[in-house]
Amino acid sequence: MGSTAKAIVPPVQTETVDKSTGWKKSLGSGSFFVVANILAGIINYLFQVLASKQLSASDFSSLNGWFADFAIFFFVGGLLQFASLFYPVSRSPVMRATIAINISCLSLVAAWFIGGGGQTLDRALIIVFAGSLFGLLMGQLQYRKMFYVIGFANLLMAGSKLGIATFSIDSLEIAERFRFAMFANFFPALWLMTFYLWKYAADAA
């Protein structure tokens, strides 16, 4: 009498996909980081186009020459960002550090206007110092692999710079508005980075 062999089929396990985390994974991908930086580059180019159209030839060349003279010192911010990868700050210190950096950067706004107008050495040092503090927080984000936040921050900086230069400020003449845009463009990105670092610290608690 023959017997019928029955295939043993293992139970099918269905995988539940958490759709709420899908957009975070997408934003955290390298592709988003690359696209965000490309868009930031385009916006920065538009800033230069706007400056060339609204400023006189002498003011435009003077503004870019002034920025180029001290831009080499931005390596300080790069070094601090790189060092943050080896010296990550834990939860409580990073929260205190973000508060101190935000207060310091806001005080630089007062120093910017108190020091008088024009393209001065004092203002160049203010931009370099602010960029250095910004680099510290950027490094903390990079250590935590929050590349989607870094991409957003770069995009936000470019957009803020163009926005400040585009919208007229009654108390500032045109050239002064472009100088201020080159300094203050990082504030929205700083607040974005602060929010996500605090959120990360809260989630890790």
Per-residue pLDDT reduced to its tens digit, 152-171: 999 999 999 999 999 877 77
Locus of tokens 């870019």 = 64
Locus of tokens 């002498």 = 58
Of residues 56 and 21, more confidence is placed in 56
Confidence at residue 29, expressed as pLDDT on a 0 to 100 scale:
61
Two tokens, residue 155? 């995009």
Two tokens, residue 190? 């700083």
Two tokens, residue 159? 């957009």
Q: What is the mean pLDDT of residues 105-123?
A: 85
Share of the chain above pLDDT 90, in %: 36
How buried is 99 (Cβ within 10 angstroms: 0-12 exposed, 13-18 middle, 19+ buried)? exposed
Evaluate if residue 2 carries a pLDDT over 50: no
Share of the chain above pLDDT 70, in %: 84
Amino acid identity of residue 67, one-letter, is F
pLDDT tens digits, 73-95: 888 888 888 888 787 777 778 88
Residues contacting 128, CB < 8 A, separation 6+: 70, 73, 74, 76, 77
Amino acid identity of residue 41, one-letter, is G
Reported confidence tier of residue 8, pLDDT bands at 50, 70, 90: very low
Of residues 11 and 173, more confidence is placed in 173
Taking the model in full, what pTM does it have?
0.77
Evaluate if residue 141 carries a pLDDT over 70: yes
Angle between helix 121-143 and 91-114 (nearest 10): 160
Which of 37-41, 108-112, 167-171 has the highest mean predicted lDDT (pLDDT)? 37-41
CA distance 172 to 174: 6
Q: What is the mean pLDDT of residues 170-178?
A: 85
CA distance 34 to 13: 36
Q: DSSP 3-state helix, strand, coil percentages of the chain (rounded to 5)? A: 75, 0, 25
